[in-house]
């Protein structure tokens, strides 16, 4: 490998896979991670189909040692220019008083602590290089509430605070830090969320889906590749003046 390297956590499916493919199409070598690297085979194949090169790495973003080991291998591949902290879980769907502490902690450990650990592992390298792009995947639920999803909402709102503060800290070193806030993205994960929202609210799955699409000016879900291309733009020279932002990709459901 000789190109600049992008790292994408949680790249074994959905948004993570789409981000890896979009970055590869823009000329990055891509280190893709998941807890079980065997699940990354399809992502590696799609990156290669897009003309890129991918390396599959094991990483549990909840574990400091696992993240540090992944970062060391990724840095040995080439200069790491872009890191996308995408790994996340949906967390429980239930009223707050019915959520266990273990459920709360698992969601926060993955969706917020995981971003902290991932970024922290690469910041010294980027400071030395005098450049870099850090991108965290938040959510539109990081900007507005969603019934029954307190751990997830708290984590995703926390990601935005992390990004804004880190952008202020790292700007003098030429490092940009941004968040992407997807809306409901078509695929198995949103289908599961819709089922759980329907059960929690006592409504039909069609009505639960309308909670995510009914207020969209485009009247539809977001596609994973649309999130991927947004991340690729934020990694590019075209976004050289963009930092500290939380960029919506929500089909217009959230406009602030």
Residues taking part in catalysis: 152
CA-nearest of 53, 68, 180, 197 to 125 is 68
Q: Which residue has the tokens 């994973």?
A: 224
Is 181:250 a contact under the CB 8 Å cutoff?
A: yes
CA-nearest of 46, 156, 36, 26 to 90 is 156
């Amino acid at each position: 490998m000789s190109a600049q390297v992008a790292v994408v956590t949680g790249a074994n499916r959905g948004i993570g896979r789409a981000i890896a493919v979009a970055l590869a199409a823009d000329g990055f070598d891509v280190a893709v991670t998941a807890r079980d690297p065997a699940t990354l085979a399809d992502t590696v194949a799609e990156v290669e189909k897009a003309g890129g090169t991918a390396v599959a790495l094991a990483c549990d973003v909840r574990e400091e040692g696992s993240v540090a080991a992944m970062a060391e291998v990724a840095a040995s591949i080439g200069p790491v220019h872009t890191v996308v902290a995408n790994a996340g879980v949906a967390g429980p769907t239930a009223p707050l008083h019915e959520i266990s502490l273990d459920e709360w902690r698992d969601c926060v450990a993955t969706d917020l602590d995981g971003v902290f650990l991932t970024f922290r592992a690469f910041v010294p390298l980027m400071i030395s290089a005098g450049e870099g792009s850090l991108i965290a995947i938040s959510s539109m639920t990081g900007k507005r509430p969603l019934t029954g999803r307190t751990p997830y909402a708290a984590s995703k709102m926390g990601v935005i605070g992390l990004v804004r503060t880190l952008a202020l800290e790292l700007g003098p070193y030429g490092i940009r830090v941004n968040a992407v806030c997807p809306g409901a993205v078509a695929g198995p994960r949103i289908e599961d969320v819709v089922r759980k929202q329907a059960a929690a609210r006592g409504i039909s799955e069609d009505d639960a889906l309308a909670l995510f699409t009914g207020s969209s000016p485009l009247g539809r879900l977001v596609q994973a590749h649309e999130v991927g291309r947004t991340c690729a733009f934020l990694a590019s020279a075209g976004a050289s003046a963009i930092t500290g932002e939380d960029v919506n990709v929500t089909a217009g459901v959230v406009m602030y």
